[in-house]
Structure 1
């Protein structure tokens, strides 16, 4: 039975810092107690918490414009949608899921067995809607790209719906999924996309294109997502390994080169920082213990995790292109070209994706987006830039040797730090 609960975010996520970057979980919320006998540690999965929703299809038809998909719990076999507090614009924040989590006031739990009926009913209202899926390596301007696309009259661009993360972790970090599990995952992905589309269409019926920019790890289930939404157009964004590494390491060490040098030289990151990352962000376990990486003859600290994550994500993108060129990717571009060409590259991408752009569009509105830090106010805001100053790169001879060692050990198609993906866009 579907249930509706009054909830609040757990305190740990309201204090800022690293916890805000943790993937979305339905356990991020606790029920607002209506009965004094319930313990403070009550779970949203307790059957005696909340009210039953006997007809979830009808409920969503009437209230779907208020509830947006948040996360899934495969063990409890429920999909969760949240309603945020009145007056909160979830699209203005750099990352959708963080705003959902911090401002949630109601949680709708839908059992897996009702999802196909919900999806089939809502699909009838979405025939005119077009999807774009923006895949990326991370730290490559994808949030900026998302905000720039949102300027276009017919486009809603949404940064990081996180319902996919639990599925990514299940596919990447557990035993290979069976055929039945794969079919269930595709069903969950299909229903999630439909529910997201229904929400955003209710929010602005005039915008017929919705672009979802995913967290970088989504590349590992891109084929499953495409199976769930075969009509969607796809983009892949990336940058060279040195730039990716430098941006990430600056972020993880809060812009302090001496902290980076101290921790990695004494291997403190191996004993403290890496285990914490692997616990809070299980995808890091995949990067560290991947069969082609686990025996790599380097210290498996934060520096190794960054190189491994870039290599595995780039290789997966390359494999997708080789296996299914029709769907991967309709546009492929680099961070360098985005910054160099700004509105020109944005308009070129939209053209390749068959998105109609008004002939009288004021392209200066797109250019304005490039003057603002797209992740400002979040824990992911770049540590390389302070005001008008950009810190010098931390990538030196040692780091370059590390890149070469890892890539040589990996022995894949992605074999250079400045690897160029096939079909990468160029402008004359």
Structure 2
């Protein structure tokens, strides 16, 4: 049975900092009870006696769907949650959708997995045809900026990081092999999640016929399943060279403090503390560093190794997808985007058959490049302060590590500045 709950964000996320970048969970919310809590008992959103039943979720979504957006799901409870935020808050303007949803949540609609196909099917006639684009990326490569730049076009809604996909990738990475039934369920959840996201956003603005979802970087690992779920979607992969990627990751992890970075890595405190924590909190890091082609690599398995292997695994997955007919269609580099700005954005869109009016004012896109796309979030780059950019932390030691790990991996991605097939360029 579907249920509707009045909720608020758990207080630990309202303090700011790295906690806000944690993957979305339905347990991020605390029910707001209409009656006093019984002595000795606490409530969660999963208690059957919280909230009110919604006997006809299809009718409810037809009437209220414009106010709800898919947030996350729970495989143990087998429910998907959609969130309504407080009035007057435009969460699409935030750098990351899921963070704004979490912080401003007011109501939570829970739909059981068993009801999702029927709900999606019944809502098919309530929306016009939507063209989906999926923006995959390595992370730390300007993908949030690209997302905001595309959103300027009249026909395009670009949404940064709906996080339901992150939970699905964690579920997949925690398993060595998916059974055929698990695989089919994952594809069903992906299809219904995309459909319900489309439904919610089109209810808000029917004129936007192209919806681009920019994912967290690890979603590339389930891109083939997403393509099975939504074969009509157009796909972009955005990436950055390994030195730039690692430098940005290290600056973020160590809050811009080179001395903290040097101290932790010199005394291997990262091996003892940071790496185990990363592997527990983010199963995809465990997936990459403990991959059969990585786990025997003869280097210190510290924080450098975590991010280097993560980049390699993502790049290799993207390369594999470029070799498939239904895989990645367009690749784009961080440097090309920064150099060519609106020209590159428009060329990518035109390559994917998005209609750009001949009289479109491209200066609207260029204006986006004058603002930090992640400003105000915990993921904002620590390398840039005002108009100054700090020097890179990647030196000869790190570059020697690149060579060792890439050589040990022995894959198609064989150098730190590897160029992906189908990479867009402007002469």
TM-score range, shorter chain: over 0.9
What is residue 271 of structure 2 aligned with on the other side? Answer: 270
| Secondary structure at the counterpart of residue 221 of structure 1 | helix
Contact kept? 1:67, 1:81, Cα under 8 Å: yes
Q: Matched residues in 2 for 1:154 and 1:130: separation?
A: 10
The answer for the alignment partner of 1:257 in structure 2 is 258
Is residue 28 of structure 2 the alignment partner of residue 16 of structure 1?
Answer: no
Aligned to 1:97: 98
- Structure 1: where are the runs of 5+ without partners? none
CA deviations on 1:144-196 (whole Å, 9 max, x unpaired) are 00000000111010000000111101111223111011111111011100110
2:308 match: 307
The 5 A counterparts of 1:18-417 are 18-38=18-38, 41-322=42-323, 324-325=324-325, 327-417=326-416
Would you say the 8 A contact 1:236–1:332 is kept in 2?
A: yes
3-state SS of the aligned residue for 2:134?
strand
CA distance in 2, matches of 1:86, 1:220: 36
Contact 1:139 1:248 (C-alpha < 8 Å) held by counterparts? yes
| CA deviation profile, 1:292-349 (whole Å, cap 9, x unmatched) | 1111111111111110110000000011112x23x32221110010001100011100
1:114-161 per-residue CA deviation (whole Å, 9 max, x = no partner) reads 101111112223342111000000011100000000001110100000
Aligned residues: 426
**Structure 1: distance between partners of 2:304 and 2:415:** 17
Q: Which runs of 4+ in 1 moved over 6 A?
A: none
- Spell out, residue by residue over 1:370-398, the C-alpha distance to the aligned partner (whole angstroms, 9 max, x if none): 11100000000001100000001111000
For the 8 Å contact 1:9–1:30, the answer to whether it is kept is: yes
- Which position in structure 2 is the counterpart of 1:3? 3
Q: Whole-Å Cα distance in 2 between the matches of residues 41 and 175 of structure 1?
A: 36
C-alpha distance 420-118 of structure 1, shift in aligned 2 (>3 A): same
CA shift for structure 1 position 54: 0.2
TM-score by length of 2: 0.98
Distance 2:177 2:31 in 1: 34
Using the TM superposition, name which of 48-57 and 37-46 deviates more.
37-46
Query: Which residue of 1 is the match for residue 423 of structure 2?
Result: 424
1:231 to 1:127, Cα distance in 2 relative to 1, 3 A: farther
5+ residue gaps in structure 2? none
Instruction: Give the Cα–Cα distance (whole angstroms) in 1 for the partners of residues 420 and 98 of structure 2.
Output: 29
| Cα-Cα RMSD | 1.1
Contact 2:329–2:422 (8 Å) recurs in 1: no
Aligned-residue offset at 1:40: 6.6
Distance in 1 of aligned mates of 2:140 and 2:128: 34
User: Residues of 2 paired with 1:233 and 1:394: CA distance?
Assistant: 36
Q: Normalization by structure 1: what TM-score?
A: 0.98
- Distance in 2, Cα, partners of 1:120 & 1:241: 43
